[in-house]
């Protein structure tokens, strides 16, 4: 069964290797484990539902708790401490567009807010009811999960938008196709959620970000259905798909989405490639991206992420031997690991590998190691479970991400990490903070930062540490003109930063659009626009 207060299935565990435990203690100090709240105690704190009785709404208390929070760090603090405070008043599992339309009518008539819910994997507070305001009805889309139409000639598939990653891929794989959209949250996140948060999969360099894959579909708005036809390309004015992409449940509910699929690749390969230092790796991945070498992913870790990944792998002996080998080639503590992915038919994979490796070698890399790539592939979704283990050991873990042009990457990366270190040191605490570049474009790349710190004695203290770190990093991101989010979206946590990026006219435009499609303001209040 899915954990109610953490990540993933409660039968899946990620034990921390002993050496990794010592590694963390040496960098952060001894963890500060605190007992978790019991769901029965939380249940006792859930207020009575304010909704009118409705045949397709459940007000079951556990269901309401399970839809109250996503996966952001503030969400974790709430769930683990039991201080959730705001719950949906009810949850509905619509099975058709018509049912959603009826629920809109119910919401307007009874003055209720609606929160669309995909897989609840948001990491920025997208699906949280607000502390104050109207009663809240959460629309869980999980029962709208069918493949409606598949046009193999055009490689277009029409899905109901509540389909989860594994179900979507299984339905396509049966037909020898794939969407190729693999966020780390793949196990639970849904097609509708991906579209409205502008999600990016691990192999987006090859398969495309969700905005490349989303061809059209239907969004049910409070004003009626908005249908977008799947044109291969169009010059008919502004592209309205981009209103839906990133709309974060503010404009309506996507009921159907048409996506562009590809044939299953004949081969899918992953490799580990070491560079003597991160700067050499950075130049190498930029060259590969700008020369358009058709690899599927390049994830370049900085030295600390490289070291931490190796420590957490639980293969101390293999790591020791590899280190010894690398030292003989002059690779020391500045070494940086790149995970290279390549997909396609056999000849294309072989040719892309040769071209990429020639560029990597010209920047001083060691030869590609298939065993490291395969290790990464095996744990690509599993590593998210580590968060549960670390929390239990008394450490909080979170990530943040941005994207910026190539010329700003070194400064911005250093700036974010430096600001985070400084801000937490001022609180008398330490941080383990590292980064990787994961999504590459002609003009720049995304920077993905992971950070660990000790939990406080009380939930408020943990939250204060997190806020201090988040604010410090976000200020540096803004100062560099980078985006506040490359893939996680805005939700609650980034809402106050959005105006810096969109400007007054841009924000007015978004407000007016919301007002036009949702004149009664029933959709997901407080998110995206604050
Ligand atoms: C461990 C972990 C790893 C992650 N890795 C990645 C990653 O690699 N790449 C990435 O991009 N993100 C990642 N995320 C973030 C998250 O998974 C994405 O934002 C994802 O797109 C959310 O999808 P969801 O279905 O869970 O949506 P939810 O969290 O349920 O909802 C997110 C937003 O979408 C709205 N929504 C959902 N369905 C619909 C619909 N049908 N119509 C209208 N609005 C809707 C909700 O109202 C909400 O505003 C990760 C999160 C976690 C916890």
Task: List b or e across 71-93, with b for residues whose CB sees 16 or more CB atoms inside 10 angstroms.
Answer: bbbbbbbbbbbbebeebbbbbbb
- Dist CA 77 CA 58 (whole Å): 26
- For residues 100-129, give the mean pLDDT: 98
The reported pLDDT for the residue numbered 320 is 77
- How does pLDDT run across 49-75, given as a tens digit for each residue? 999 999 999 999 999 999 999 999 999
The reported pLDDT for the residue numbered 219 is 98
Which amino acid residue places its CA nearest to atom 8 of ligand 1?
183
72 CA to centre of ligand 1 in angstroms? 11
The pLDDT confidence band at residue 360, using thresholds 50, 70 and 90, is: very high
Q: Residue 326 above 90 pLDDT?
A: no
Helix (H) or strand (E) holding 374: helix 370-378
Q: Residue 330 above 90 pLDDT?
A: no
**Residues forming beta bridges with residue 217, ordered by sequence position:** 228, 257
The pLDDT confidence band at residue 315, using thresholds 50, 70 and 90, is: confident
Question: Can you tell me which atom of ligand 1 is nearest the CA of 387?
Answer: 1
The reported pLDDT for the residue numbered 261 is 98
Q: Residue 506 above 90 pLDDT?
A: yes
Residue 488 CB less than 6 A away from ligand 1: yes
The reported pLDDT for the residue numbered 313 is 80
The structure tokens 């290797």 sit at 17
CB 28 within 8 A of CB 400: no
Which letter does DSSP use for residue 485 in this model? -
- Dist CA 367 CA 355 (whole Å): 13
- For residues 405-411, give the mean pLDDT: 98
- Dist CA 46 CA 123 (whole Å): 23
How far is the CA of 377 from the CAs of 147, 270, 278, 305, 340, in angstroms?
Answer: 27, 7, 22, 17, 11
Q: Residue 317 above 80 pLDDT?
A: no
In the chain, the percentage of residues whose pLDDT exceeds 90 is: 95
Residue 527 CB less than 6 A away from ligand 1: yes
Residue 90 CB less than 6 A away from ligand 1: no
- How does pLDDT run across 10-52, given as a tens digit for each residue? 999 999 988 899 999 999 999 999 999 999 999 999 999 999 9
- Dist CA 257 CA 259 (whole Å): 6
The pLDDT confidence band at residue 314, using thresholds 50, 70 and 90, is: confident
Q: Residue 478 above 90 pLDDT?
A: yes
pTM for the model: 0.98
115 CA to centre of ligand 1 in angstroms? 13
Question: Can you tell me which atom of ligand 1 is nearest the CA of 527?
Answer: 49
Q: Residue 237 above 90 pLDDT?
A: yes
Output the CA angle 151-152-156, nearest 5 degrees: 50
> How high does pLDDT run on average in the chain?
97
The structure tokens 């007002």 sit at 515
């Amino acid at each position: 069964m899915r954990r109610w207060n953490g990540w993933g299935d409660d039968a899946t565990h990620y034990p921390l290797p002993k050496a990794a435990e010592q590694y963390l203690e040496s960098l952060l100090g001894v963890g500060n484990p605190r007992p978790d709240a019991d769901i029965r105690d939380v249940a006792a704190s859930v207020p009575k539902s304010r909704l009118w009785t409705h045949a397709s709404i459940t007000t079951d208390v556990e269901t309401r708790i399970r839809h109250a929070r996503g996966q952001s760090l503030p969400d974790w603090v709430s769930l683990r401490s039991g201080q959730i405070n705001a719950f949906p008043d009810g949850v509905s599992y619509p099975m058709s567009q018509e049912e959603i339309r009826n629920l809109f009518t119910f919401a307007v008539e009874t003055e209720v807010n609606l929160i669309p819910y995909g897989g609840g994997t948001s990491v920025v507070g997208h699906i949280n009811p607000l502390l104050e305001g109207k009663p809240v009805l959460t629309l869980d889309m999980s029962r709208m999960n069918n493949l409606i139409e598949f046009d193999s000639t055009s490689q277009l598939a029409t899905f109901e938008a509540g389909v989860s990653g594994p179900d979507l891929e299984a339905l396509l794989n049966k037909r020898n196709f794939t969407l190729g959209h693999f966020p780390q949250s793949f196990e639970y996140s849904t097609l509708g959620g991906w579209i409205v948060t502008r999600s990016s999969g691990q192999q987006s360099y090859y398969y495309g970000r969700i905005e490349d894959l989303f061809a059209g579909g239907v969004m049910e708005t409070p004003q009626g259905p908005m249908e977008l036809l799947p044109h291969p390309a169009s010059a008919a004015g502004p592209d309205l798909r981009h209103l839906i992409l990133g709309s974060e449940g503010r404009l309506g509910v996507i009921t159907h989405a048409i996506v562009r699929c590809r044939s299953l690749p004949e081969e899918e390969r992953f490799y580990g490639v070491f560079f003597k230092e991160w700067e050499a790796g950075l130049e190498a991945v930029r060259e590969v991206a700008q020369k358009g070498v058709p690899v599927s992913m390049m994830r370049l870790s900085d030295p600390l992420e490289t070291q931490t990944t190796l420590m957490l792998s639980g293969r101390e002996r293999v790591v020791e031997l590899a280190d010894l080998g690398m030292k003989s080639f002059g690779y020391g503590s500045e070494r940086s690991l790149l995970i290279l992915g390549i997909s396609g038919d056999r000849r294309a994979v072989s040719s892309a590998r040769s071209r990429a490796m020639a560029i990597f070698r010209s920047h001083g890399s060691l030869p590609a190691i298939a065993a490291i790539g395969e290790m990464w592939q095996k744990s690509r979704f599993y590593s998210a479970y580590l968060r549960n283990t670390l929390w239990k050991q008394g450490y909080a873990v979170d990530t943040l991400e941005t994207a910026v042009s190539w010329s700003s990457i070194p400064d911005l990366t250093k700036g974010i990490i430096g600001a985070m270190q400084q801000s937490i040191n001022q609180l008398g605490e330490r941080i383990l903070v590292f980064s990787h570049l994961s999504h590459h474009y002609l003009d720049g790349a995304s920077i993905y930062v992971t950070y660990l710190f000790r939990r406080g004695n009380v939930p408020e203290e943990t939250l204060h540490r997190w806020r201090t770190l988040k604010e410090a990093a976000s200020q540096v991101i803004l100062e560099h003109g980078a985006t506040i989010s490359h893939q996680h979206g805005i939700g609650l946590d980034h809402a106050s930063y959005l105006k810096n990026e969109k400007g007054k006219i841009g924000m007015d435009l978004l407000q007016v659009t919301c007002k036009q499609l949702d004149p009664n303001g029933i959709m997901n209040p407080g998110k995206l626009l604050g």
